[in-house]
Amino acid sequence: MRCAILADIHANLAAFEAVLGDIERKGGVDELWCLGDIVGYGPDPCRCIELLREYNPVCVVGNHDHATIGKIELSYFNPYAAAACQWTAGQLSQDDVAYLEGLPLTVEKGEFLLAHGSPADPVMEYVMSTGIAAKNFDFFQSKYCLVGHTHVPAAFKEEKGTCLSVNLSPGIGMVLGASRMIINPGGVGQPRDGDPRASYVIYDSEGRVFRLYRIPYDISATQDKMMEAGLPIHLITRLEVGR
Ligand code: ZN
């Protein structure tokens, strides 16, 4: 079984389409797993929800998805993110809202638990250090956990009671072994590791291989639409630096 793992699309249609095109070029996948934050920040929330749903994905909810439909107070967000959430809320159809409302906090798929933030706090917590990852291994039963939210590709493994960071480099396969792991495929629509290209993973269950890909997309097309929509300039410029 081949599976594409995507996180943090953030209404960036150009980035999302570039990733989907890349998946097709690589022969397609059997399943698409999405780790939340379909909307927020970007200019195409409705089209991104619609396109994602065409793939019948396994999908969990993210903090921006929740904020957009009023399940999280916007006061938890910085002013830019809050403004984008408010704008997004005005764009969504009733059907879009119903879809986001129906998304679960976590999903278990075979050996994997899927969550947006962390297994301990599926919507809000960022797993961005070995310290935070270490405590999170106690919060899921499955062997592996997939998270998004930081927009930074990362992998952590638990070995002999300690937690180690594992390098996840583009194009180089990582074979799942005996150790439990927490893995982040990076962000599709707003990467934050200094590489502005969209980030995603293909998992092949046959060789148990995880492979990270970075895909260039038309950043200026997304920026132009954000400008037209009147979204905050800070959110527009950060796309080209990937921070
Ligand atoms: Zn996000």
Write the CATH number for 183: 3.60.21.10
Domain count, the chain: 1
Q: Domain range for residue 151?
A: 2-241
Query: Got the DSSP string for 154-168?
Result: EEEEEETTEEEEE--
In angstroms, the CA 38 to CA 33 distance is 12
pLDDT at residue 76, as a whole number: 86
Distance 205 CA to ligand 1 centre (A): 26
Chain centre distance of CA 56: 16
Pairing label, strands 173-175, 209-215: antiparallel
Per the CB < 8 A criterion, the answer to whether 39 and 92 are in contact is yes
Distance 184 CA to ligand 1 centre (A): 12
Distance 160 CA to ligand 1 centre (A): 32
Distance 35 CA to ligand 1 centre (A): 9
pLDDT at residue 121, as a whole number: 97
pLDDT at residue 75, as a whole number: 87
Distance 97 CA to ligand 1 centre (A): 18
Core vs surface per residue 184-218: b (16+ CB within 10 A) or e: bbbbbbbbbbebbbbbbbbbbeeeeebbbbbbebe
Residue ranges, the chain, pLDDT below 50? none
Query: In Å, what is the CA distance from 179 to each residue of 95, 170, 214?
Result: 41, 21, 26
pLDDT at residue 64, as a whole number: 97
In angstroms, the CA 243 to CA 235 distance is 10
| Reported pTM | 0.97
Pairing label, strands 2-6, 31-34: parallel
Per the CB < 8 A criterion, the answer to whether 14 and 221 are in contact is yes
